[in-house]
Amino acid sequence: MIFGFYLILFIISIIMTMIYAVMWHKHFSVHYTLIFTIIPISLLGYMFFAQSDDLASALISLKIIYIGGAFLQLFLMLSVFRVCNIELKKSVTISLIACSLLIYLSVLSIGYSPMFYKSVSFETASYGAHLIKEYGFVHTLFLVVVIMYFLYSISSIVYSYFHKPDVSNHIIVLLCITEVISVISYFISKSILPGIDITPLAYVISQVLFLLIIRRMSLYDVSDSAIDSIEQTGDTGIVSIDLNYRYIGSNETAKSMIPELYEIRVDSVLDPEKEPGKQLIAWIETFKKDENNDKFYLKRDNKTYLMDINDLYNGEKKRGYQFIMTDDTKNQEYIALINNYNTNLQKEVEEKTAHIKEMSDRLILDMAIMVEKRDNSTGGHIRRTAECVRILMDEIMKDNSFGFSKEFCRNIIKAAPMHDLGKIAVDDEILRKPGRFTPEEFEKMKKHAAEGARIVHEILKDTDDSFFHQIAENIAHYHHERWDGSGYPCGLKGINIPIEARIMAIADVYDALVSKRVYKEKMSFEKADSIIMEGMGKHFDKRLEPYYLKARPRLEAYYTEQENSEEDIKE
């Protein structure tokens, strides 16, 4: 029965050690590894002792068991010191190990020397092998050393609990339980069941507790959970927060960047009303909604820090969030300088571009006016039709049932003055004829539409604005086409006529009707309106009728103003 009990504990211990091996990381303290190595060896000694049938085999088993007795409490104490951030000088550590080693050497002398056991004999009891011992002075020293290790460990744990906010209270409690179980089990091991030592059970429980401690420690050790190459004393700050917004820890660089971190206790929940908790929680919430939003900026004391947030993993399991902080002040100052330069440069470019466009538009208008001056029958036609197009486009854009873009509308207005550029290719004797054209002359005159398209194409072919280029070319080429297909130069019909040319056609005809020409007097607004309305669906696009009707009062007002201005000039 006793052998079975020890066997079960040994198997469990081996499993615990294997779990530790899977969890192992190079940052783990060597003391953890020694604890998980020593315990299975000691349990193996207990199994051998339970099967001993003579003094020699029992003593060999006992010496294996004492590997745990001599060293385990020491390594537990050193682990406590590491967790509590208590540093021992290397010479002190070596001295303690040497002390335990001397004690174990005295254990090895059992049967040969009276230092540890003055005398020892073997007997077989109902529950198995049993040793009758008389203890020597080194055994007394051994007990003193074990109690000393225990007291130092408990003192460190208590001190850290009350005075070290950077040590997790959860881990402190687990360490305390481990220490108490390991020591108490030794002194009461044989008082529960005769012949059964419960120390092995305490060892296995200690392994379980240490696995929990190590699992938690892998989170609190910030340098372990971050990239290994990032050192605590470097220029990169690290802040870790668990999934419940509890502060896990930070390195010294992060604390120098955010001094409030010194006041936050490990395991405490971040205060959403106070900095830095308020800002850190807000950034985590933003990151949770969209993991692409993983970079934020923190401004402190004329410094700008780049906060790069990532999920914090322990193995393959997500355990929280980690902020990687770097001083980005110089980079941000440079970016601000570049942005300011780009803004000023963009403003200058926009001003220059606007000026160039204004000059270009003015040049186009002056060219059109220059061509118009060759035609003594259409004085002011270019300016007036351009204004007519503007008034029509204003009405079209109010409901925009055609779905025109603002750029398209601006380009139609801008291209309107170019519609008669082709007249530059018409002979003066035809263009300046004071009367009506003969059929032959009219045929020559009609060529100005196609010629105008060619000229516009040549003028604008090297410009970057291909959209305006096409609109201007269409207006020059097709503004004499008719909805019913009876127009020129191509005889286009219906929607095959570009919409910009259909709009231009209304403005061109309206101006011809209400303006005086060498071969006719100007027509009244009522008569001109009658002709325009009669042409809807024949000469003009019927869909433009409602916009013409809305524009009519403004058109009449404009031409009335032009007439009054001309009369004032004559006077």
pLDDT in tens, 431-454: 667 667 788 888 888 888 898 889
Range of the domain at 516: 346-570
Report yes or no: 513 and 528 within 8 Å, Cβ to Cβ. Answer: yes
Peptide bond before residue 272 is cis, with ω within 30 degrees of 0: no
| DSSP H or E segment with residue 237 | strand 236-242
In a shared domain, residues 317 and 408: no
How far is the first Cα of the chain from the last one, in angstroms, to the nearest whole number?
Answer: 135
Euclidean distance between CA atoms 381 and 512, whole angstroms: 8
pLDDT in tens, 287-327: 999 988 888 888 888 888 888 999 988 766 888 999 988 88
| Residue 341 falls inside a structural domain | no
In a shared domain, residues 297 and 420: no
| DSSP H or E segment with residue 297 | strand 295-300
Euclidean distance between CA atoms 225 and 214, whole angstroms: 13
H, E, C per residue of 106-171: HHHCECCECCCEEEEEEEEECCEEEEEEEECHHHHHHHHHHHHHHHHHHHHHHHHHHHCCCCCHHH
In a shared domain, residues 414 and 392: yes
| Residue 426 falls inside a structural domain | yes
**Residues of the chain falling short of pLDDT 70:** 1, 26-27, 126-127, 186-196, 217-234, 315-316, 352-379, 431-432, 434-435, 518-519, 566-571
Peptide bond before residue 489 is cis, with ω within 30 degrees of 0: yes
In a shared domain, residues 205 and 231: no
Q: What is the CATH classification number for the domain harbouring 257?
A: 3.30.450.20
Which pLDDT does position 123 carry in this prediction? 83
Which pLDDT does position 328 carry in this prediction? 82
In a shared domain, residues 243 and 112: no
In a shared domain, residues 299 and 388: no
- For 558, list phi and psi in degrees, rounded to 5: -65, -50
| Residue 58 falls inside a structural domain | yes
Collapsing DSSP to helix, strand or coil, 384 comes out as: helix
Report yes or no: 145 and 63 within 8 Å, Cβ to Cβ. Answer: no
Q: What is the CATH classification number for the domain harbouring 436?
A: 1.10.3210.10
Last residue of a domain, one of 205, 220, 235: 220
Which pLDDT does position 231 carry in this prediction? 47
Euclidean distance between CA atoms 13 and 5, whole angstroms: 12
| Residue 332 falls inside a structural domain | no
In a shared domain, residues 456 and 552: yes
Q: Which of 290, 320, 294, 291 is nearest to 307 (CA)?
A: 294
Which pLDDT does position 365 carry in this prediction? 60
Euclidean distance between CA atoms 59 and 47, whole angstroms: 13
Encoded tokens for 228: 């290994």
Which pLDDT does position 363 carry in this prediction? 58
Report yes or no: 260 and 275 within 8 Å, Cβ to Cβ. Answer: yes
Q: Which of 557, 513, 563, 558 is nearest to 533 (CA)?
A: 513
Which pLDDT does position 361 carry in this prediction? 60
Give the type of residue at 525.
F
- For 65, list phi and psi in degrees, rounded to 5: -60, -40
88 Cβ contact list (under 8 Å, min separation 6): 78, 81
Which pLDDT does position 493 carry in this prediction? 94
- What is the length of the chain? 571
Which pLDDT does position 379 carry in this prediction? 52
Tell me which residue has tokens 């059964």. Answer: 196
Report yes or no: 76 and 178 within 8 Å, Cβ to Cβ. Answer: yes
In a shared domain, residues 312 and 366: no
Encoded tokens for 424: 């530059």
Euclidean distance between CA atoms 484 and 537, whole angstroms: 7
Which pLDDT does position 368 carry in this prediction? 59
| DSSP H or E segment with residue 544 | none
Euclidean distance between CA atoms 427 and 445, whole angstroms: 9
- A 10 A CB-CB count for 242 gives 16
- A 10 A CB-CB count for 61 gives 21
* CA 304 to the chain's CA centroid: 18
Tally of domains within the chain: 3
In a shared domain, residues 289 and 359: no
| Residue 339 falls inside a structural domain | no
| Residue 476 falls inside a structural domain | yes
In a shared domain, residues 108 and 189: yes
Last residue of a domain, one of 298, 327, 356: 327
308 Cβ contact list (under 8 Å, min separation 6): 294, 295, 323, 324, 325, 326
Last residue of a domain, one of 327, 358, 391: 327
In a shared domain, residues 385 and 248: no
The radius of gyration of the chain's CA atoms, rounded to the nearest angstrom, is: 49
Q: How far is CA 303 from CA 295, 299, 326, 431, 564, in A?
A: 16, 6, 10, 75, 69
| Residue 149 falls inside a structural domain | yes
Report yes or no: 100 and 203 within 8 Å, Cβ to Cβ. Answer: no
| Residue 334 falls inside a structural domain | no
Which pLDDT does position 389 carry in this prediction? 93
Q: How far is CA 269 from CA 139, 216, 280, 281, in A?
A: 48, 16, 12, 11
In a shared domain, residues 288 and 179: no
